[in-house]
Amino acid sequence: MMKKLISTTALTGVVVGLGMSAAVADASLTIESWRNDDADIWNEKIIPAFNKVHPDIKVTFAPTPPADYNAGLNAKLAGGTAGDLITCRPFDASLDLYNKGHLTDLGSLDGMDNFSDVAKSAWQTDDGKATFCLPMASVIHGFIYNKEIFEEVGIDVPKTIPEFMDAVKKIKDETRYVPIAMGTADQWEAATMGYQNVGPNFWKGEEGRKAVIDGKEKLSDDAYVKTFEHLAQWKDYMGNGYKAQKYPDTQNLFTLGRAAIYPAGSWDITTFNSQADFKFGAFPPPVPANGDECYISDHTDIALGINAASPNKEAAEKFLSWMATSEFAEIYSNSLPGFFSLSNHKVEVQDPVAQEFVSWRDSCKSTIRNSYQILSRGTPNLENELWNVSAQVLNGTMSPEDAAAKTQDGLAKWYKPQM
Amino acid sequence: MKTTQTGWLGRFPWHIAVFLAPAVLIYTLFMIYPLLDSIRLSFFTADDSGAISYAGFANYVTILGDPEWRASFLNALYNNLVFFLVHMLVQNPVGLLLAALLSLPRLRLRSTYRTLIFMPTMLSVVIIGFVWQLILSPLWGISETLLYYVGLVDWFEPWLGQENTALVTLSLISVWQFVGIPMILIYAALLLIPEDLTEAAEIDGANHWHIFWHIKLPLILPTIAMVSILTFIANFNAFDLIYAVKGALAGPNFSTDIMGTLFYRTFFGFQLQLGSPTMGATVATLMFLVILVGVLFYLFGVQRRLRRYAM
């Protein structure tokens, strides 16, 4: 592994070094991204729209598969072969790139004032002095459901957790549909669409998230145990063999009409629009009891920054400034329903399910995933631990109390405010 | 006319150096240098800005001393050992059996079998992983239906998703893929055994079984030993199948985490875990040491005791 890695980076360094000197003449930009699903939209809509304003800048969208993105990007940046524009993961992954001098400070960029502080917070230094990526979009968690199955079984959209459990029980008892489409083989769904989806209602969104960062609350507190207890209830309603079910399996299970409820990220809307031939809708994570305030995970997920080693910084800044306009926000939000623009421009979302998702911003309080800011900096890595324990709780191999205790113990090992 | 040169230059066997040069140069450039450089990197540590500074054995102390790191390192080492043992206990005996069957004197369609069994070895791991996930899938897989036909449907489980079965299942998939290699090597060794030996034994009254145990097996032992050490090296360098099927977090609960995936997570990082080239180099060096110890044990403990026969 090691041997191969070093020799290949050395070699690509040479090859691309040659290529770069040839490309300097005309302003051309390459975008590094993990969104390979969106390549068509970039090539057919976004880049042509940009070229109407700036015909002299040639833009190439060069995505890498999501799982390889961080590793590949780091290797390319170290070897000096990365593209001019870098798609930024939220928080520490990008902060690390900035600290290592791979991203430039965008504080003075034209159009940066179109974004709120909350939107920018995922791509700022801890003191908030430097902003190194231009926020693009957030994703919202919730549940997508098959409207036809709900009608057939005769159930309403559940508002509280008891209603939710009654609904899945009814589906299980009366039909052959899978009540909850989710698998634990890939682990991340358990944490992201499970824990981070339903959890904010228990830990009260931002309030709880900040309290853990400040050391005032612990991840083993009641709210977190209750989150895991709720997840543990799901396991009787997930499909046969869900332990070996992967993310694409889950998507197929739902789009084939074999499952009723799909714990979702709003990004799934695009896939479902093209694959499902039944009507589907969405509901926010049910609250523990009637009348409780609702919280949603409205996670700042994607941004764009400039490679500090780019020879085309001027062109790159022009591109980012254009991305801060309402024109981009409009194109992006509507060609990728489920990715919600973070800019302050008022954007009309056309897709009905995406509209449903974004409407929760008015009725519920928004928060982000609690493991993303600061808390995943140490060893053991909190995010990895959450994947692991959430999957184990759903597999029935770990109790909710143990799961909560394990995440807290891990955090207390290195995070001073929690020691 | 013969030129007579005297002195050191004239006596130096230049042709040997010339013949060795291509291999030595390429091997040094692409294997020895990167290996030494990654060992060097393992003695350094990086700060937030990415600048590295000498740290002595600090990384090794962390991996072997810190409870978190030690637990994941030992877990990966243990899983890797299981991975290797499954190969030794299944892949190599089955390879031997297949080779013995292939070398039966009156076998028809010999080359067809040989090709079919060897074929998976040449397929990409990604395809192997994908195909087996489909076969074993509890949703769309055919394994449940097949078990149903033979009345064993109650035995079906989501093997790839359970902590106690995932690693062995993955090992067996890898065995299925690579069983062609021991088979072909042992088969080639069996073909080299002169027929006079087996004929003489037959005349002396030995049956197939006797001939195999007392004549053929001793003669192919050196090959079996070589196959074993190749299996060892390949298994402790393994990474791709686990990564393709279970991802770099090697779930459930790290039950399929082997040295290769641990290295990948450490070196490249994973999701919110930032990669650390220096810690990664330390894991890589420890992998190298494990393999080195195994190979040395083989060279001095096994290979020297093997008796070779002139045929």
Q: Which of A95, A408, A30 is nearest to B49 (CA)?
A: A95
* pLDDT at B3 (0 to 100): 53
The SS3 assignment for B54 reads strand
- Degrees, nearest 5: CA angle B287-B288-B290: 65
Query: Of B48, B49, B139, which has the smallest distance from its Cβ to A249's Cβ?
Result: B139
User: H or E segment at A259?
Assistant: strand A259-265
* Superfamily (CATH) of domain B70-102+179-305: MetI-like (1.10.3720.10)
Q: Do A395 and B163 touch (CB under 8 A)?
A: yes
Contact of B250 with chain A, judged by CB distance below 8 Å, is answered with no
Report the pLDDT value the prediction gives residue B183, as an integer from 0 to 100.
Answer: 96
Nearest to A1 among B263, B271, B273 (CB): B263
Residue type, A381: N
Residues 63-102 of B with CB under 8 A from A: 66, 68-69
| Structure token pair of residue B2 | 């013969």
Please judge whether A395 and B252 are an interchain contact, meaning their C-beta atoms are less than 8 angstroms apart: yes
The phi and psi torsions of A281 (rounded to 5 degrees) equal -130, -175
Q: Does B165 touch chain A (CB under 8 A)?
A: no
CA contacts within 13 A on the Cβ side of A167: 23
Find tokens 């909850």 and name the residue.
A180
Predicted complex ipTM: 0.85
Instruction: Give the integer Cα–Cα distance in Å for A120 and A138.
Output: 11
DSSP state of A160: B
- The residue type of B210 is H
Of B34, B66, B160, the CB nearest to A7: B34
Give chain A positions within 8 Å (CB) of B130. none
Helix (H) or strand (E) holding A389: helix A382-395
DSSP A307: B
The two tokens of residue A337 are: 């329903």
Q: Looking at beta carbons, which residues of chain A come within 8 Å of B133? A: 244, 246
- Amino acid letter for position B77: L
Report CB contact under 8 Å: B247, A245: no
Contact check, Cβ <8 Å, A96/B274? yes
The Cα–Cα gap between A160 and A318 comes to 47
| Spatial separation of the C-alpha atoms in residues B273 and A92, rounded to whole Å | 9
Question: With a cut of 70, which residues of chain A have pLDDT below it?
Answer: 1-26
- Chain centroid to CA B62: 28
Rounded Cα distance, A183 and A267, in Å: 18
Specify the DSSP element, H or E, that contains A139: strand A134-146
Contact B139 A96 (CB under 8 A): no
Domains defined for chain A, CATH in brackets: 2-137+300-357 (3.40.190.10), 140-298+368-418 (3.40.190.10)
The helices-and-strands tally (H runs, E runs) of chain B is 17, 4
Contact B251 A388 (CB under 8 A): yes
- Residue to mutate among A1, A375, A376, A397, with most B CBs inside 10 A, is A1
B236 at interface of A, judged by CB pairs closer than 8 A: no
- How many residues can be counted in chain B? 311
Any residues with CB less than 8 A from the CB of A282 and at least 6 apart, and which? A142, A143, A144, A145, A264, A353, A356, A357
Token pair for A219 = 């991840």
CB-CB contact of A340 with A358 (8 Å)? yes
Strands A259-265 and A178-180: parallel
Cα(A319)–Cα(A321) distance, rounded to whole angstroms? 6
Give the model's pLDDT for residue B6.
Answer: 59
Pairing mode, if any, of strands A85-88 and A178-180?
unpaired
User: Which pLDDT score is estimated for A37?
Assistant: 82
Tell me which residue of A58, A67, A65, A82 sits closest to A9, measured CA to CA: A82
Report phi then psi at A91, rounded to 5: 60, -130
Q: Give me the total of CB pairs closer than 8 Å, taking one residue from chain A and one from chain B.
A: 154
Q: Which two tokens stand for residue A416?
A: 């001073």
Read off the amino acid at residue A287: V
Q: Per the CB < 8 Å rule, is A185 touching B160?
A: yes
Give the β-pairing of B44-46 and A28-33.
unpaired
A248-256 contact pairs (CB < 8 A, 24+): A249/A183, A249/A185, A249/B137, A249/B139, A249/B140, A250/A181, A250/A182, A250/A183, A250/A189, A251/A275, A252/B139, A253/A178, A253/A181, A253/B139, A254/A144, A254/A146, A254/A181
CA A390/CA A382 separation, integer angstroms: 12
Chain B residues in contact with A413 (beta carbon < 8 A): 68
Q: Do A185 and B246 touch (CB under 8 A)?
A: yes
What is the DSSP code (8-state) at residue A419? -
Give A-chain residues touching B42 at CB under 8 angstroms.
none
Helix/strand/coil percent split, chain B, to 5: 70, 5, 25
CB contact under 8 A, A2 and B280: yes
Provide the residue type at B234 as one letter. A
Spans of chain B below 50 pLDDT? 1
Query: pLDDT at position A2, please?
Result: 44
Backbone dihedral angles phi then psi of residue A303, each to the nearest 5 degrees: -150, 175
State the CB neighbour count (10 A cutoff) for residue A214: 10
Residue type, A207: E
Q: Which residue of A has its CA nearest to B130?
A: A246
Closest CA to A336 of A273, A256, A262, A249: A273
Residues of B in contact with A410 (CB under 8 A): 68
Contact state of A185 with B138 under an 8 Å Cβ cutoff: no
C-alpha span between A140 and B190 (Å, rounded): 64
Residue of A nearest to B136 (CA): A244
CA distance B260 to chain A (A): 8
State the Cα–Cα distance between residues A215 and B233, nearest whole angstrom. Answer: 47
- Strand A134-146 versus strand A259-265 pairing type: antiparallel
E strands, chain B, where?
44-46, 52-54, 269-270, 273-274
* Nearest-by-Cβ selection for B268 from A70, A99, A380: A70
On the CB side of A112, CA atoms within 13 Å amount to 19
Residue A10's pLDDT is what? 45
Q: Say which residues have a Cβ less than 8 Å from residue A39's Cβ, sequence separation at least 6.
A: A61, A63
Tell whether B195 is within 8 A of chain A (Cβ): no
* Pairing between β-strand A295-306 and β-strand A365-367 as defined by DSSP bridges: parallel
Contacts of A184 in chain B (CB under 8 A): 161, 251-252
Please judge whether B251 and A185 are an interchain contact, meaning their C-beta atoms are less than 8 angstroms apart: yes
Inter-chain touch B163–A397, beta carbons under 8 Å: yes
pLDDT at A5: 45
What is the pLDDT, as a whole number, of residue B48? Answer: 77
**Token pair recorded at residue B261:** 């995936």
